[in-house]
Amino acid sequence: MSYRRLIATATLAALTSSAQALVSTWDGSSDLLPEQVDPSWTLIDEGAGSPSFAGGVLTIQTTSTHGARQYYTMGGTDLDFTGGAPYWLEAEMKYISGSQTSGWWRAPGHMSFRFESGRIAVLEIRKDLIYIRNGDNSAGDSAVVDTDEAFHTYRMEALGTAAGTTVNVYQDGLLVLSDNALYAAGGGASVSWGEASTLATGTTQWKRVSHNMAAVAVTPVPEPGTWALWAAGLAAVGFSARRNFRQQIRA
C-alpha cells in the first residue's frame, strides 16, 4: 500500500463511527412521546387504552381487572451492553394509585432491564414503598419512602451481569436499596418501565426516562489526535500531488 493510500485509510478509520453504548433519554418536556425519540420505545398496551400525555407528563393507567399491562420497552438491536458496569436505568416519576392481586412482589410502578443472558434487575414502586425483586415471585431489599406526594428520580444500577450481582437503587441521589438481586429470568435483552405485571394495576406518571444501554450509530467530534492525523493526511496527499505535477512538467 502506498504512503498516500495508507494515510487516507487511517484518516477514514479515525473519522468513521460505529454503534456503541450510549445514554438514551426520553424527556417529556420535549413534547415528544417515548415512541417518537431515537432510539424509540415500543408501547405494550393490552387493552387498557393509550397513555395520556399533557404538560410534559405521561400518565400510564391500567384497569382494575389486573389483567392488562401498559408499559414501554426497548430491546434488540437498539441495546448495547458493551459500555461496561454500572448499567443503569433512571426515571423521574410519581406513583398515583394502584393495587396487586397476589403477593407484595408485584407493583403498579415498574422499572427493569434484562441482559442478553436473561438475568434481570427489577424495581417495584408502590405507595410509599419501593423494593427490588430478587426472583419472579420474591422480593429483596425494601425501603419506606415517599412515592406519591411528589415526583422523585429513581436510579437503578447493576454493578455487573452475573447472577447475584449487587443492584443499587437511589431516590433523588440518595442510596436507599442495595441487594444481590440480579437474577435469572430468561427472555431477550430489554429495558422496560410502566405497569408491566398482570398481577398489578394502577396509575403512574412519568416525566423522564434515561438509561446507558442504547446502541446508536453516531459521528463523534474528532479528538485532537484525530484532527492531527487528518491534517497530516491532507498535507501528505497535497505534497504528493505537487511532486507529481512538477515531475510531469520537467518531463
- SS3 assignment, position 226: helix
Residues 212 and 226 occupy one common structural domain: no
Residues 234 and 155 occupy one common structural domain: no
Residue 61 one-letter amino acid: Q
Residue 46 one-letter amino acid: E
Spans of the chain, pLDDT less than 70: 1-19, 47-48, 102-104, 216-251
Residues 55 and 23 occupy one common structural domain: yes
Where do we find the cell 406526594?
149
Residues 234 and 134 occupy one common structural domain: no
Residues 185 and 245 occupy one common structural domain: no
Task: Please count the structural domains in the chain.
Answer: 2
**At 213, which helix (H) or strand (E)?**
strand 200-217
How many Å apart are CA 94 and CA 3, to the nearest integer?
A: 61
pLDDT of residue 238: 53
Residues 152 and 72 occupy one common structural domain: yes
Task: Tell which residue, 179, 136, 22, 132, has the closest CA to residue 87.
Answer: 22
pLDDT of residue 101: 81
Residues 114 and 232 occupy one common structural domain: no
For residue 175, the enclosing domain spans 18-217
Burial class (CB in 10 A: 0-12, 13-18, 19+), 40: middle
* Count of Cβ atoms closer than 10 Å to residue 182 Cβ: 27
Residues 64 and 134 occupy one common structural domain: yes
Residues 150 and 244 occupy one common structural domain: no
* Count of Cβ atoms closer than 10 Å to residue 137 Cβ: 10
Residues 124 and 139 occupy one common structural domain: yes
The contacts of residue 138 (CB under 8 Å, 6+ apart) are 105
